[in-house]
Amino acid sequence: MRNTFGIHRALAGAFLAAIPLATVVRAQGPAEVTLPDTGVQAENLTSSGDGTVYFGSMAKGTIYRATPGAARAEPWILASTAGLTRVLGVLADDRSSTLWVCQNATDARGGAPVTGQTALRAFDLKSGAAKGTYPFPPNSGICNDIAVSASGTAYVSESFGGRIHRLRPGGTALEVWAHDSALTVIDGLAVHADGAVYANNFMTGKLYRVPVNADGSAGAVVPIETSQPFVRPDGLRSVGPRTLLQAEQQGRITELTIEGNRAEVRVLRDGLTRPSGVTVVGDRVFALVDFTKAVAVPYRAGTAQEAALPPAVSPTKAEQEILDLSKEKWRWMSEKKADTLAALFNDKAVFVHMGGSWGKAQEVDIIRSGGIHYKHAEIFESSARIIDSTAIVLSRIRLDAVVGGNEVTNPFMVTEVYVRHKGKWKLASLSFTRLLTP
């Protein structure tokens, strides 16, 4: 037992020493970005690379801008001078120095005349000067959100029309790019690293992928299975090779990690009031709440870690089997099912932690005794590769654990090696590599 106690002490010290400074010292900056006027009804927000945050106003049409680090957004592009009405989606595109804006005609409530037009608008990201206006077809629904591909193509969602419009680089008019009944109340849009366009449906709560064919046309709409259901999903943004952020008006900001036709959902913040838009500024997410202000949520996009993983492809049946087993293993560890894990571990298995390495007996004893309680492993990315009778699983996780009575959280890249023995997969190696950022 003295050897086991030594392992516990070494591991506890390593876990505690590895607690990132960011968990103690948060990034400086405003906790909120407010709007100066009443009745603005900001439906969406966006940010540029320098940290400037932009809001659009449904009620007033004006574009508001908060300079980097400012806690207040001021009127910037005035509706009266730019001819803006009912602004919904806004998107800052640093590559083309363009602020894309979805404007809509007024709806003639109370017998008032219809004013303005439903169109995609473009403004210079620095000066605010108008760069172009691209009207929707007659009798269209609502211009809602915008996403821009790496090639510079702008995609625009049409709510209540079930369509995605496209403006190609150098184009002078919008084209109807995709039309599907699944997209009837389409809302948020994002372009992923795979080149596809992702869209959510505000009413059904579903998420979809629209592939881009080799000739640029839209492929068949693919439903994405999600690990948690969505309620009134709204703003959608791409933040990494496989990662999206989403605002749900039920009150959540979530991170969606795409693996093939499935999305793992991680809740970043719950209990907000009608969040409708989301954008990333440095190591924080700003969520637009109650159409009145943006609140900051700590976050670090994992682009560096994602790049270390193999390209995203749909797993084979055998690979999915091993991925499911790996996920079950984390649950067994959380529930301290030492006997179940002992049956899973190969007798010659090796476990590599920050505080040392040891074999099966020591690992089972640590779990059984509570020397380490693996409370929860949040899996952001996971891939499997099978080579003959060996399977390798690579996962990016955030591990919440209790070590020596202290709760710690660390980001890890975890490598698992499984071997096929008598028709069953056995865990032969489990190693943790701590990442520099969450």
186 close to 167: Cβ distance less than 8 angstroms = no
Tens of pLDDT, residue by residue, the chain (438 residues): 434 445 444 444 555 444 443 333 334 578 999 998 889 999 999 999 999 999 999 999 999 999 999 999 999 999 999 999 999 999 999 999 999 999 999 876 566 677 889 999 999 999 999 999 999 999 999 999 999 998 899 999 999 999 999 999 999 999 999 999 999 999 999 998 778 999 999 999 999 999 999 899 999 999 999 999 999 999 999 988 789 999 999 999 999 999 889 999 999 999 999 999 999 998 899 999 999 999 999 986 544 444 444 444 567 889 999 999 999 999 999 999 999 999 999 999 999 987 788 999 999 999 999 888 998 887 877 899 999 999 999 998 888 888 877 888 888 899 999 999 888 999 999 999 987 655
> Rounded to an integer, what distance in angstroms lies between the CA atom of residue 130 and that of residue 128?
6
What angle do helix axes 2-17 and 360-369 make, rounded to 10 degrees?
70
3-state secondary structure at position 174: coil
CATH architecture of 2-20+313-434: Roll (3.10)
DSSP, collapsed to helix, strand or coil, labels residue 137 as: coil
Q: Are 285 and 299 in contact (CB under 8 A)?
A: yes
Spatial separation of the C-alpha atoms in residues 382 and 370, rounded to whole Å:
26
Give me the long-range contacts of 56-63 (CB less than 8 A, separation at least 24). 56/87, 56/88, 56/89, 56/90, 56/101, 56/102, 57/87, 58/86, 58/87, 58/88, 58/291, 59/86, 61/85, 61/86, 61/87, 61/103, 61/116, 62/87, 63/87, 63/90, 63/99, 63/101, 63/123, 63/128
Who contacts 233 (Cβ-Cβ below 8 Å, separation ≥6)? Answer: 187, 188, 200, 201, 202, 205, 207, 246, 247, 248, 249
pTM: predicted TM-score of the whole model, two decimal places: 0.65
How does 170-208 read in b/e, with b if 16+ C-beta sit within 10 Å? eeeebeebbebebbbbbbbbbbbbeebbbbbbbeeebbb
Six token digits for residue 47: 């940010």
The pLDDT of residue 303 is: 41
Amino acid at 273: T
Q: Which of 428, 427, 430, 433 is nearest to 325 (CA)?
A: 427
Provide, for the chain, the percentages of residues in helix, strand and coil under a 3-state DSSP scheme, each rounded to the nearest 5: 15, 45, 35
Residue 311: per-residue pLDDT: 47
Structural tokens at position 116: 């303005």
The CA-based dihedral angle spanning residues 52, 280, 185, 135, taken in that order and rounded to the nearest 10 degrees: 30
Pairing of strands 284-289, 197-201: unpaired
Type and span of the H or E element at 32: strand 32-34
- What is the C-alpha to C-alpha distance for residues 320 and 260, in angstroms, rounded to an integer? 11
Q: Do domains 2-20+313-434 and 31-301 have the same CATH topology?
A: no
Any residues with CB less than 8 A from the CB of 5 and at least 6 apart, and which? none
Q: Give the start-to-end residue ranges of the domains of the chain.
A: 2-20+313-434, 31-301
Q: Residue 313's pLDDT is what?
A: 56
Query: How many CA atoms within 13 Å lie on the side-chain side of 337?
Result: 13
CB 351 within 8 A of CB 418: no
- Which stretch of DSSP H or E encloses residue 365? helix 360-369
Nearest CA to 272 among 294, 289, 259? 289
Distance of CA 194 to the CA centre of its chain: 15
Residue 5 confidence (pLDDT): 43
- How many beta carbons lie within 10 A of that of residue 347, not counting itself? 11
Give whole-number Cα distances, 298 to 29, 128, 313, in Å.
Answer: 11, 30, 30
CB 247 within 8 A of CB 42: no
> In 139-230, where do the E strands start and end?
142-148, 154-159, 163-167, 175-179, 186-191, 197-201, 207-210, 222-226
Looking at CATH, the fold of the domain delimited by 31-301 is given as Neuraminidase (2.120.10)
Predicted local confidence at residue 109, as pLDDT: 58
Task: Tell me how crowded residue 406 is: count the other CB atoms within 10 A of its CB.
Answer: 11
The CA radius of gyration of the chain, in Å to the nearest whole number, is 24
